[in-house]
Chains A and B, each alone.
Chain A
């Protein structure tokens, strides 16, 4: 006897499809956390402020979702929320990269 849950989980495998998309996404997610963990520990503490500004800018990559909502939908509500999200994310992207640029430009080595 195979329990129903296992059956449900095995269904895509039986059909030759491999694991479900959510499982793949979870795999990517967990591995990315590990990459983030090891890469961020290598960041010098002196640059923790620029790190914060640049991570803030790149987390606005959710603009990808905003663009689809604003430009690929027929529903007015979706277009409205999409437009708002595009504008908000754009403030962050441009502002975040610009302020990171300004900060990093100030770090200079001793003149020899």
Chain B
């Protein structure tokens, strides 16, 4: 295969990837987009295998078979609630693979046409060092994110002493080593860069709390793209550069969306330690003891049946309690009686961008009944019942009124404007942010205490 033909096929593959992202602009075209992505990948792999410099295919076939079998087995078994940790784990593999490719290119530059062993082009050395550094950061950072999401380590934010100076020192070390590596190209310097980057990725993510994981996953998504671009520069492959840039900007946009959803800057997330501020929340010792109105399943059923419009506000607690299927049953009964049911999703409702939409879709809730915060927030004033299930901080009016609140300025759903708020909650404990929610004490709020799934099943049973 001539270099020109390969380049054109790689270009076609890149176009397929762009069309894949384009397909995701609407649920109806999304699956077609996925087909484009798969086509692009097949084209990329096929073109590479048809290169005249390819010598051996045995190990490649074995690697693809093993990797493919593992990948498919995991993807088909994973629970939708566990998606965030799956994605984190997958990101770590991209990072590690990037480090492996850069290392291989260092030992065998001839196979990539970037010089001969010991005499690699200066530009390629810089790109190699940079690509492997980003890959290494992605790898350890994603492993930590995975461990936190999977609950292997505590999700509470840590504030290590000297954490920021140490990270700055590591980053400076990597930057300082790059020109040294470019000048001499010794293996020891290469491995020193990788080692520093591995440590940096670990230390960057360890202090970040569980509540910030949506931002962290998006950020690592972005890094995995930049790592791919870095490898593309090293190997002079336009396909890798383009694809890496697409993924990198996608992850960056998602990080931005998540940060905006929490009214925080990316620096605040990385350097913050959110939810660790002393003196707020805790086990409720300092909370004021105000009366709340408590209702039963019968009360809730009565209110829901007599409503004309209901907006459900689901949070991650709903998914933890596996209440989404019971919720859909309840919605079906109400819809049958002519009640309008809609769902309002806060940008950070789940543990990763768009997570809650997937969880609702899994419970067969049609996507055209599900709305984003901006689309539906104005409608609460004309809504009879706001049904809050497993969410808390994203409904807290203090974000709009109390400048002293840690969540002040965060966009919230205006549920208190609905005629009645039904608030399902396990107990009076605070949410992720450790802030009390004044919504509980309002006159138009009825608290339904208990496990989300049991409460909803109770309501469905009362409908009879």
Contacts and interface: CB of A to CB of B under 8 A. Distances in A.
B244 interface: yes
Contact of B369 (A37, A67, A83, A110): A110
Contacts of A74: 55, 108
A61 B246 contact: no
A68 B56 contact: no
B75 A61 contact: no
A104 B224 contact: no
Contacts of B249: 33, 36-37, 40
Interface string B53-87: 11111011011101111111011101010010011
Most buried by A among B30, B240, B366, B370: B30
B72 A35 contact: no
B20 interface: yes
A37 to B, nearest CB: 5
A107 to B, nearest CB: 4
B353 A108 contact: no
Contacts of A53: 83, 87, 90
Interface in B24-42: 24-28, 30-31, 33-34, 37-38, 40-41
A96 B93 CA distance: 11
Given A25-B236, A61-B243, A65-B101, A95 B221 contact: no
B55 A86 contact: no
B108 A51 contact: no
Contact of A56 (B91, B345, B366): B91
Most buried by B among A21, A55, A56, A81: A55
Contact of A82 (B22, B25, B100, B248): B100
Most buried by B among A40, A57, A59, A89: A59
Contacts of B361: 103, 106-108
B93 A88 contact: yes
Contacts of B309: none
Nearest to B251: A55
B429 interface: no
A18 to B, nearest CB: 15
B248 A36 contact: yes
Nearest to A100: B34
A58 interface: yes
A73 to B, nearest CB: 4
B125 interface: no
Most buried by A among B17, B48, B63, B107: B63
Contact of B83 (A49, A81, A110): A49
A60 B238 CA distance: 14
Given A43-B25, A49-B83, A78-B107, A35 B18 contact: yes
Contacts of A41: 253
Given A82-B100, A93-B71, A47 B30 contact: yes
Given A46-B354, A61-B228, A68-B235, A92 B71 contact: yes
A13 interface: no
Nearest to B364: A108
Size class of the contact patch on chain A: 35 or more
B362 interface: yes
Interface in B424-461: none
A95 B238 contact: no
Contacts of B18: 35, 39
A77 B354 CA distance: 41
A84 B242 contact: no
Contacts of A7: none
Contact of A54 (B20, B80, B117): B20
B246 A55 contact: yes
A70 B103 CA distance: 12
A69 to B, nearest CB: 3
Nearest to B233: A25
Most buried by A among B107, B240, B251: B107
Nearest to A86: B63
B257 A61 contact: no
A93 B13 CA distance: 15
Given A65-B112, A86-B64, A36 B228 contact: no
A32 B242 contact: yes
Interface of A: 21-22, 25, 28-30, 32-33, 35-37, 39-75, 77-79, 81-111
What 9 A-B pairs are tightest by C-beta distance, nearest first?
Answer: A90-B67, A48-B354, A95-B71, A78-B108, A69-B104, A36-B249, A94-B71, A86-B63, A98-B75
14 contacts: A36-B21, A39-B21, A40-B250, A45-B257, A47-B27, A49-B83, A50-B34, A61-B40, A69-B104, A70-B104, A97-B34, A97-B37, A99-B83, A106-B80
